[in-house]
């Protein structure tokens, strides 16, 4: 017992020494640069413009408000990619499991291409090639309803910037490949007998899949899905590569303007903590709902 | 291929709708294939790739010294091939892990110079050789750290356990770019005046901090998969706590965690591309700076396809290597 206690005291002591050295260095460096730790600058006018702001914003608004806009922009792109990625992932996952062999082969190519190349490269491809590459031509698959150009996507009066659209598609197609594997694993975890049972009851393949198999696969799917959603949230910070003003990009601008590195880093971490909390709580609620519906 | 055609035959025979669907998809694939091939051969201008191959490989490394990173990459590749073939001589097989570790100081020596070779500043390191250096260094540093963290999380000492858990969980909650950003902008603030760490080493430090948390969780999974009876058996044989950890737990945990660790390595290789937006000119960074060159303006598709194929090739190669290793370790297990 006393041996254990000694070890722990030694660990604590070493950690305290390390921390005090680091904090001492930090305070010396900060006082040399004349920037003492403070957050009052957050209330000063930001004086930079934003390409995208979900709520009214002008350069005369405060840094705090600009950062909040960034947080909302992050939330916007995360939630919309989350929905699109789920659709892509579920579709590809089902095709990989039960589709015909040619479709399955295509899905396998998609998954290897997406998983074996960096996301950052994919995002740049979507932005510089897929959207900006359109130059002045406007692509209208359904006249009057949707039009795609280098300015972004117009969909029934809803206009999405090209930066947002590139990020949306890049993140969704990337995360979709991972969700597909989660869905496939979930479907394979349901026993073969269930398939035979619904077939013998006269369900069609698609009907049986969605009414019998997927509800039973959900408990196996949701934990994997949650971690993919959290990854998506983390990956959304690559927005800076395509010029979308998310929380990280705005933090970067703020640091360039004010030199408040430590404070901005603390803000970045806490806003991320909030986003993570939001997503995991949301998934917890969904998990509870699916578990409850299973009991009935 | 035979299996593939047999599958098509089977699919075709199931019903007419499925058959028509298959035909339609095959038609679309065929058209897409012809269109892509036509573009690749006739429309694309590959000058941006072919004229700059040395840049993609070595960055702005001095031209007369390029043999150094080249030698390093060749030695890594040949070592991979040796590992893949699996030499028959036992001493050669036993020294393979040591040889892999030795490639790291060799690489650092060849890149930075000294001891008879002219020094090359790290800002001239670039391209594929920098990407490989970042990956290999971070991985080799993160592995022992990850093992320590995993053991710490399983420790009986509450303080060690809590500290490791806090570190692992908070690192896993943060986006990588934030950690790298910390490495580039915040580490200098925590160092005493006059002490400076080079940009490349700060990046490696940040990658190590980040990846070790993920590796720790993978190894913890491996540790938990080892049955308790093993520890009891080892204790009965008179092994002490250190010996049990060193000879019984870690080797088995590493073997179980190998597929997950491979994924981490592949992920790390891809994630080094993030340094392109944080000021290092690695493989993706070279692509970006070439695209900013007026001579190659607008050649996005060519550069991106080329870079994607290089990343794809290396990642697939790593996956093949790891799968081979898994198989060999599994055979050893049945021999016992």
Burial letters A134-146, b for 16+ CB under 10 A, else e: eeeeeeeeeeeee
Average of pLDDT values for B234-238? 91
Q: How high is the pLDDT of residue B115?
A: 80
Asked if B207 and B125 sit in the same domain, the reply is yes
C-beta separation of B321 from B80 below 8 A: yes
How far CA B232 is from CA of B52, B155, B241, in Å, comes to: 60, 17, 11
Protein fold of A53-295: MetI-like fold (1.10.3720)
CB contact under 8 A, B10 and A101: yes
pLDDT digits over B152-204, tens only?
A: 998 888 899 999 999 998 898 899 999 998 888 888 888 888 888 889 999 99
Confidence of residue A296 (pLDDT cuts 50, 70, 90): very low
Average of pLDDT values for B1-29? 69
Q: Give the start-to-end residue ranges of the domains of chain A.
A: 53-295
CB contact under 8 A, A8 and B22: no
Which residue has 């028509």 as its token pair?
A: B20
Spatial distance between the Cα atoms of B306 and B291, rounded to a whole number of angstroms: 13
Nearest CA in chain A to B305: A125
Spatial distance between the Cα atoms of B288 and B304, rounded to a whole number of angstroms: 9
Asked if B175 and B308 sit in the same domain, the reply is yes
Suggest the residue from A20, A29, A102, A270 to mutate for an interface test with chain B (most B CBs closer than 10 A): A102
Partner B contacted by A28 (CB < 8 A): yes
DSSP string, B177-225: HHHHHIIIIIHHHHSPTT----HHHHHHHHHHHHHHHHHHHHHHHHHHH
Confidence of residue B336 (pLDDT cuts 50, 70, 90): very low
Asked if B191 and B301 sit in the same domain, the reply is yes
Suggest the residue from B270, B271, B311 to mutate for an interface test with chain A (most A CBs closer than 10 A): B270
- Which residue spans within chain A are E strands per DSSP? 139-142, 146-149, 152-155, 158-161
Spatial distance between the Cα atoms of A131 and A117, rounded to a whole number of angstroms: 20
Give this complex's ipTM: 0.88
Instruction: Write the burial class of residue B321 (CB in 10 Å: 0-12 exposed, 13-18 middle, 19+ buried).
Output: middle
Q: Which residues of B touch A234 (CB under 8 A)?
A: 174-176
What is the tally of structural domains in chain B?
Answer: 2
Spatial distance between the Cα atoms of A293 and A196, rounded to a whole number of angstroms: 23
Average of pLDDT values for B65-79? 91
Suggest the residue from B156, B166, B178, B193 to mutate for an interface test with chain A (most A CBs closer than 10 A): B178
Spatial distance between the Cα atoms of B134 and B285, rounded to a whole number of angstroms: 14
- Which one-letter DSSP state was computed for residue A161? E
Spatial distance between the Cα atoms of B13 and B7, rounded to a whole number of angstroms: 10
Is residue B14 pLDDT above 80, yes or no?
Answer: no
Is residue B15 pLDDT above 70, yes or no?
Answer: no
Which residue has 């992932």 as its token pair?
A: A89
Partner B contacted by A274 (CB < 8 A): no
Nearest C-alpha of chain A: how many angstroms from B312?
5
Which tops the pLDDT comparison, B261 or A30?
A: B261
Q: How high is the pLDDT of residue B11?
A: 52
CB contact under 8 A, A25 and B307: no
pLDDT digits over A33-71, tens only?
A: 777 788 888 888 888 888 888 888 888 888 999 999 999
Q: How high is the pLDDT of residue B204?
A: 95
Nearest CA in chain B to A116: B312
Interface of A with B in 37-96 (CB under 8 A): none
Residue B160 is nearest to which of A11, A28, A32, comparing CB atoms? Answer: A11
Q: How high is the pLDDT of residue A34?
A: 78
CB contact under 8 A, A117 and B156: no
Percent of chain B with pLDDT over 90: 37
pLDDT digits over A267-283, tens only?
A: 999 998 888 888 888 88
pLDDT digits over B255-291, tens only?
A: 889 889 999 999 999 999 999 998 899 999 999 999 9
Q: How high is the pLDDT of residue B332?
A: 56
Angle, helices A214-235 vs A261-295, to 10°: value is 180
Q: Which residues of B touch A237 (CB under 8 A)?
A: 175, 177-178
C-beta separation of A155 from A146 below 8 A: yes
Spatial distance between the Cα atoms of A162 and A152, rounded to a whole number of angstroms: 4
Measured in degrees and rounded to the nearest 5, phi and psi for residue B191 equal: -95, 150
Nearest CA in chain B to A33: B189
Nearest C-alpha of chain A: how many angstroms from B32?
12
Average of pLDDT values for B101-120? 87
Q: How high is the pLDDT of residue A3?
A: 81
Is residue A227 pLDDT above 60, yes or no?
Answer: yes
Range of weakest confidence among A27-31, A193-197, B131-135: A27-31
Asked if B39 and B133 sit in the same domain, the reply is no
Nearest C-alpha of chain A: how many angstroms from B92?
31
Nearest CA in chain B to A26: B190
Q: How high is the pLDDT of residue B4?
A: 62
CATH of the domain at B157: 1.10.3720.10
Is residue B118 pLDDT above 70, yes or no?
Answer: yes
Partner B contacted by A234 (CB < 8 A): yes
Segments forming the whole domain that contains residue B18 = 1-43
Residues of chain A by 3-state class (helix, strand, coil), percent to 5:
75, 5, 20
C-beta separation of B177 from B275 below 8 A: no
Average of pLDDT values for A76-100? 90
From the CB of residue B264, how many other CB atoms can be counted at a distance below 10 Å?
21
CB contact under 8 A, B284 and A7: no
Which residue has 């190590």 as its token pair?
A: B208
């Amino acid at each position: 017992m006393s041996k254990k206690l000694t070890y722990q005291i030694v660990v604590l002591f070493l950690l305290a020494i390390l921390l005090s050295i680091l904090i001492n260095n930090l305070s010396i460096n900060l006082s040399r640069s004349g920037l003492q730790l403070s957050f009052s600058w957050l209330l000063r006018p930001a004086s930079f413009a934003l390409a995208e702001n979900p709520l009214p914003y002008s350069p005369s608004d405060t840094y705090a408000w600009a950062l909040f806009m960034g947080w909302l922009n992050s939330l916007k792109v995360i939630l919309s990619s989350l929905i699109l990625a789920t659709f892509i992932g579920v579709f590809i996952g089902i095709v990989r499991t039960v589709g015909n062999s040619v479709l399955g082969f295509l899905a396998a190519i998609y998954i290897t291409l997406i998983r074996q190349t960096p996301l950052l490269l994919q995002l740049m491809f979507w932005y510089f090639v897929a959207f900006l590459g359109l130059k002045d031509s406007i692509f209208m698959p359904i006249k009057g309803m949707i039009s795609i150009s280098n300015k972004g996507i117009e969909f029934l009066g809803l206009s999405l910037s090209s930066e947002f659209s590139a990020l949306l598609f890049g993140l969704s197609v990337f995360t979709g490949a991972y969700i597909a594997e989660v869905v496939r694993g979930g479907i394979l975890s349901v026993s073969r007998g269930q398939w035979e049972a619904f077939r013998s009851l006269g369900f069609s393949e698609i009907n049986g899949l969605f009414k019998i198999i997927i509800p039973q696969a959900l408990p196996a799917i949701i934990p994997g899905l949650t971690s993919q959603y959290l990854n998506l949230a983390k990956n959304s910070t690559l927005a800076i590569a395509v010029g979308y003003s998310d929380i990280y990009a705005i933090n970067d601008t703020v640091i360039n303007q004010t030199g408040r590195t430590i404070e901005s880093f603390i803000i970045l971490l806490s806003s991320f903590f909030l986003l993570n909390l939001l997503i995991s709580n949301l998934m917890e609620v969904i998990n509870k709902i699916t578990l409850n519906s299973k009991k009935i | 291929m035979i299996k593939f055609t047999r599958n098509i035959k089977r699919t075709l025979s199931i019903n007419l709708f499925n058959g028509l669907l298959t035909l339609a998809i095959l038609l679309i694939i065929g058209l897409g294939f012809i269109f892509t091939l036509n573009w690749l051969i006739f429309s694309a201008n590959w000058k941006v790739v072919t004229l700059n191959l040395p840049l993609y490989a070595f960055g702005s490394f001095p031209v007369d010294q390029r043999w150094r990173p080249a030698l390093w990459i060749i030695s890594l590749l040949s070592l991979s091939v040796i590992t893949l073939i699996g030499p028959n001589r036992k001493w050669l097989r036993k020294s393979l892990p040591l040889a892999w570790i030795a490639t790291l100081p060799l690489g650092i020596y060849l890149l930075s110079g000294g001891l008879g070779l002219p020094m090359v500043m790290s800002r001239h390191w670039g391209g594929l050789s920098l990407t490989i250096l970042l990956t290999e260094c971070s991985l080799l540093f993160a592995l022992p750290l990850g093992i320590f963290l995993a053991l710490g999380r399983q420790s009986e000492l509450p303080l060690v356990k809590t500290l490791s858990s806090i570190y692992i969980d908070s690192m896993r909650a943060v986006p990588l770019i934030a950690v790298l950003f910390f490495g580039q902008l915040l580490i200098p603030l925590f160092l005493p005046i006059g002490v400076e760490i080079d940009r490349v080493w700060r990046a490696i430090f940040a990658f190590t901090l980040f990846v070790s948390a993920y590796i720790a969780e993978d190894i913890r999974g491996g540790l938990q998969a080892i049955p308790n009876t093993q520890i009891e058996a080892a204790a009965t044989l008179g092994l002490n706590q250190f010996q049990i950890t060193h000879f019984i737990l870690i080797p088995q945990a590493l073997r179980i965690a190998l597929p997950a660790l491979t994924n981490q390595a592949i992920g790390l290789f891809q994630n080094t591309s993030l340094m392109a937006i944080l000021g290092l000119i690695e493989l993706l960074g070279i692509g970006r700076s070439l695209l900013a060159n007026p001579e190659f303006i607008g050649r996005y598709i060519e550069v991106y396809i080329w870079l994607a194929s290089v990343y794809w090739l290396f990642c697939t190669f790593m996956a093949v290597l790891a799968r081979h290793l898994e198989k060999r370790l599994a055979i050893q297990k049945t021999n016992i």
